[in-house]
A and B are shown apart, each in its own frame.
Chain A
């Protein structure tokens, strides 16, 4: 693997919750996380809901500031990036979000959503922007693009919306896309198509992905490397994290997924009820 494009060093973020009366409880959503994302690789971050996956994604996208720890963009500390480097980061690292309906501005036509981004980054001029937007839609499989350019997000299906969101991210020619649960609000057949699209984009452009998911099956098919998150920490990571889990939590997580074939399901090793899941 090449040098990491994005790294986290001892990254921590906590939230104060007032769940029980007046006493403030501090929840560590991200707890001392070390992580490297290399160019062109697909890193999956898995874990149950509430394990801090999305908080980590928001930190990596620079949408929140960490309480402590660093984020490095190509080896440079995030907080000391020069404006020019920061712009480079914004162009190279893009995002796709969970709810495709919420990630597109409901008042903008597809062509305007794409045009705003491309015009701002001078990737097209006023006269070429329509064709450029059409080319981006074509690249994510929305063909013929002319059918989609003038539509509003609510006139598209969930899968089409997510494709537009991917097209918007791809328009900047990123090196890395951080996708926060990109599949979980779509149905199975659409999920498969989008996974195929992501693989295809990766092969064509050498793009890397950070895919955040609770769906181990989907992730397993595209990820080069898997990091398992539990209570804000990465408990296990590696290429074989899901195939040969070492940590008890990973084992439990793997066992919790349903296997469609009952014969295989029966043969699976079960986590004994007596075996405690460690809290760290």
Chain B
């Protein structure tokens, strides 16, 4: 594990991404103690611009925005990470079955994946929330439902490729059970690009959650960055700080996950062209 972290630290974008996410993680865990004010209490006049007393100003009902953003980190990160892993679980199962068994299973599962892929994400989530109401866990499920096809396709591609390799043939010839071949022989070799995809999906999940929050569809009882944006809409012309700071936080988290994914990609796929910008060598 430490060796793996060291390798990420030697990539171009990995260390920055890792640092950003570590800071956000610490903030998410310790928000209650770092926050200068109780995020739910009215601590000043409403709509105060940023000052030394209120670093990010106050919102329309006089709450300290800095404290709100800090506390919101927890929900946003939790939704991002949990939905990425939930998507990995769904997409992974589908991709493994389709990629290993081929034939009818492959055709059915991959068509299903494509069906989900062409559904507009926001509509899927809106539909789920309209049916079941907004709560934290449902939100994770809905976001996962929207992004699992990405994971399914990556894992499917890996399995299709790896199952033709000779070590898999050797395992079949040695009569090892199919579950063993899938879980012990192929899966560990299939994981590297999947890890990259999970990191990318976490940032995608945070973006989707913010979008939902902005539309007023996130859980009203949990402070999240998207939800802060929702209230900020009405004050765009009078209180810029209400939308800029939560927006910057979303941006930071998304950039962090993307840079981490970039670093991971460089570690697991060293021959790929380094970095996304610039001409290939």
Residues of A at under 8 Å CB distance from B?
A: 58, 61-63, 87, 90-91, 93-95, 97-99, 102-108, 116-117, 120-121, 165, 168-169, 172
Contact = CB atoms under 8 A, between A and B. Distances in A.
A95 B174 CA distance: 8
B176 A116 contact: yes
26 contacts: A63-B172, A87-B175, A90-B175, A91-B175, A94-B174, A97-B166, A98-B166, A102-B165, A102-B166, A103-B170, A105-B167, A106-B167, A106-B189, A108-B185, A116-B176, A116-B180, A116-B184, A117-B176, A120-B174, A120-B175, A120-B177, A120-B180, A165-B170, A168-B170, A168-B174, A172-B174
Interface of B: 165-167, 169-177, 180, 184-185, 188-189
A90 B174 contact: yes
Nearest to A165: B170
Contacts of B180: 116, 120
Nearest to B176: A120
Closest 10 A-B residue pairs measured CB to CB?
A: A90-B175, A103-B166, A97-B166, A107-B188, A102-B166, A105-B167, A95-B173, A117-B174, A103-B170, A105-B185
A95 B176 CA distance: 14
B176 A63 contact: no
Contacts of A90: 173-175
A125 to B, nearest CB: 17
The main secondary structure of chain B at its interface with chain A is helix
Contacts of B176: 116-117, 120
Nearest to B173: A95
A169 B166 CA distance: 13
Contacts of B185: 105, 108
A107 B189 contact: yes
Nearest to B185: A105
Given A107-B188, A107-B189, A120-B180, A63 B167 contact: no
Contacts of A87: 175
B41 to A, nearest CB: 53
A133 to B, nearest CB: 14
Given A105-B185, A105-B189, 18 more contacts: A61-B169, A62-B173, A97-B166, A97-B169, A102-B166, A102-B167, A103-B166, A103-B170, A104-B167, A104-B170, A105-B167, A107-B189, A108-B184, A116-B171, A116-B174, A117-B174, A168-B170, A168-B174
A108 B188 CA distance: 9
A106 B167 CA distance: 9
Contacts of A106: 167, 189
Nearest to B184: A116
Nearest to B174: A117
Nearest to A172: B174
Contacts of B166: 97-99, 102-103
Contacts of A117: 174, 176
Contacts of B184: 108, 116
A58 to B, nearest CB: 8
B167 A103 contact: yes
Contacts of A102: 165-167
A120 B166 CA distance: 19
A63 B169 contact: yes
A243 B207 CA distance: 73
Question: Which of B167, B176, B184, B189 is packed against the most chain A CB atoms within 10 Å?
Answer: B167
Nearest to A104: B167
Contacts of B172: 62-63
B100 to A, nearest CB: 14
A87 B189 CA distance: 27
A107 B192 CA distance: 12
Contact of B169 (A95, A108, A168): A95
A97 B165 CA distance: 10
A168 B173 CA distance: 11
B175 A121 contact: yes
A150 B167 CA distance: 18
A170 B210 CA distance: 59
Contacts of B173: 61-63, 90, 93-95
Contacts of A108: 184-185
Contacts of A98: 166
A246 B224 CA distance: 83
Contacts of A120: 174-177, 180
B184 to A, nearest CB: 7
Contacts of A95: 169-170, 173
Contacts of A103: 166-167, 169-170
